[in-house]
Each structure stands twice: as structure tokens, then as C-alpha cells.
Amino acid sequence: MAPSRRKTFPMSKNLEAHARRILSGVADPHTGTDLVTSGAVRGVGVSGDDVSVDIQLGYPAKSIEADIAAAAKRALEADSAIAHAAVSVSSRVHAHAVQEGLTPLPNVRNVIAIASGKGGVGKSTVSANLALALHVEGAKVGVLDADIYGPSQPRMLGLSGRPDSKDGKRIEPKSNHGIEVMSIGFMIEEDTAMIWRGPMVTQALQQLIRGQIDKFNLIGLLQDGIRHGFTDEYTRDLGHHIIQALQVLHIDRGIDIDTGVE
């Protein structure tokens, strides 16, 4: 009889370490980093020559969880020391560290600012599509429409009507397609122009922010409508007050929307 080619590991810790070495050769297709280096391998269990692995990704990744589980299982079972591998993959979004001097919002883990130096370049379209994409991947997402000139998130996300207020002080976000939305557009008619001075803008945005962050436990809050290219006295004043109102948010990432220049 031919000798067995199966490797033997006298202690379960040895097989656990061996499994981790194998997993260090399996890369996350989104980040390119292997599962061990990224810290995604939360635990490895051993029973005889069977292995069970718990993988937890740090970002919403519902669409690739099954693929990563299959890749890890193939790599483990291809090794002669492992008879069977059971792999589970899940996602848990982690909060980023806030800027020095700011207090993290208790109900929001991450904030992405969508901004541009001008209007009409697609901030609202990017915000709506990014929010929907994150929701599909498993994130709980809210959109704060900070566009005072022309709030369009209600139309983008199929929402209309006046917002509700249970206590008469704070308005309730509206929801559609799994996205929670706060917008000044809920308070005015769609074709009504908003010509507000700075202090009014500050007060309105602060009310939207309070309604957003007090009510929901969000993985991501997308902040739409910021314009940082203020060219005259009125818009410079408005821009100052928009930035002042948004300082309570710890912005983790920013996306700047620009048009090409020939």
C-alpha cells in the first residue's frame, strides 16, 4: 500500500497556524490585500483535520461575500493537511477616527462629503447612486441634502410631501429604496427658489442634521450639495454659513465632482 501523502499536525494550534498561512495567500478582490494582513480573519477553529474560518470584512461587501468564502475554501481544501473547510464571510463597517477637537456623532459611523466648485456637475446624481450602491452592499445609509439653491434628492430618490414631526421640534427623515433622506426640498414646493441669507441657512441645515443624526444608527451619511467655489459677496457669505453649520459632522472622506476642461 502506498504511503499517505496527507500532512499531519500533532497539535490543533499547528493546523490553525497553517490555515492562516494559506489564507495569507487569498486576496480581497476589492482591496488587493490578503485576508490575514487586512485583519479580516477573525477566527480559525480546528477539529481533527477539519477547519472552520470566520472572515469579517471592514466594509459593506454583500455582493462578493460568497466569492471570498469560495476562494478561501478552495485554497484551504487544496492543502493535503485539511480534509474539510467551512468558511463564513460577513461585513462590519468600522467608524473612522474623527478630526482632533471633534466629537464623533453617536449614531453615524462615517460621513462622505460630495462637493464641487460649481452647480450642475452631478453632485446629487453621484450622491443618490452612491447611497443606493452602498445600501445594496449591506450598508445602512442616509443622505443629507445640503443644497439650498436647488435641492434635488427628493426627486432623485422618489420622495415628496412635507416631513413629519412627532414632537413639533424636529422633522423626521423620509425613506425610499432603503435610504433615509433629509432635504430642504421637503419644506418647499419643487419649483420654488430659495433665496436665504447665511444665518437662515445655518439654522435650516442644523435642523436637518439634528433630525438625521438623532433618529438613525447609520453606517454611512452622504452629504450632498456643498459648493466651495464662492465668487461673490452673497455666495461667499452663504458658503461660510453652510460650512459653519456642517462643522458638527466628522467628515471622513470627500468626493469632488468636476467637469473636464479642454
Highest mean pLDDT out of 112-126, 129-143, 217-231: 129-143
| Domain boundary residue, one of 65, 91, 117 | 91
Structural domain of residue 129, as residue ranges? 108-256
Residues 113 and 218 occupy one common structural domain: yes
Query: For residue 22, with 0-12 CB atoms within 10 Å meaning exposed, 13-18 middle and 19 or more buried, which class applies?
Result: buried
Question: What would the mean pLDDT of 40-67 be, rounded to a whole number?
Answer: 94
Number of domains in the chain: 2
Cα separation, 129 vs 31, in Å, equals: 21
* Cell numbers standing for residue 92: 462590519
Residues 163 and 220 occupy one common structural domain: yes
Query: For residue 208, with 0-12 CB atoms within 10 Å meaning exposed, 13-18 middle and 19 or more buried, which class applies?
Result: buried
pLDDT (0 to 100) of residue 230: 39
Instruction: Please report whether residue 100 resides in a domain.
Output: no
DSSP state of 185: G
Question: What would the mean pLDDT of 65-93 be, rounded to a whole number?
Answer: 95
Instruction: Please report whether residue 198 resides in a domain.
Output: yes
pLDDT (0 to 100) of residue 99: 65
Report whether pLDDT(191) > 90: no
- The C-alpha angle 47, 51, 52, rounded to 5 degrees, equals 105
Cα separation, 32 vs 191, in Å, equals: 47
Query: For residue 127, with 0-12 CB atoms within 10 Å meaning exposed, 13-18 middle and 19 or more buried, which class applies?
Result: buried
| Domain boundary residue, one of 91, 116, 143 | 91
Residue 104 — very low, low, confident or very high, per pLDDT cuts 50/70/90?
Answer: low
Residues 143 and 188 occupy one common structural domain: yes
Residues 6+ apart with CB under 8 A from 185: 145, 151, 152, 153, 154, 155
Residues 6+ apart with CB under 8 A from 214: 107, 170
Helix axes 12-23 and 65-77, enclosed angle (nearest 10): 130
Residues 114 and 177 occupy one common structural domain: yes
Highest mean pLDDT out of 186-190, 206-210, 243-247: 186-190
DSSP state of 93: P
Q: Could you read off the pLDDT of 219-262 as tens digits, one per residue? A: 555 555 554 443 434 344 445 545 555 565 667 777 777 776 65
Residue 25 — very low, low, confident or very high, per pLDDT cuts 50/70/90?
Answer: very high
Q: Could you read off the pLDDT of 1-13 as tens digits, one per residue? A: 454 555 555 456 6
| Domain boundary residue, one of 36, 62, 91 | 91
pLDDT (0 to 100) of residue 257: 77
Residues 85 and 113 occupy one common structural domain: no
Query: For residue 51, with 0-12 CB atoms within 10 Å meaning exposed, 13-18 middle and 19 or more buried, which class applies?
Result: buried
Instruction: Please report whether residue 228 resides in a domain.
Output: yes
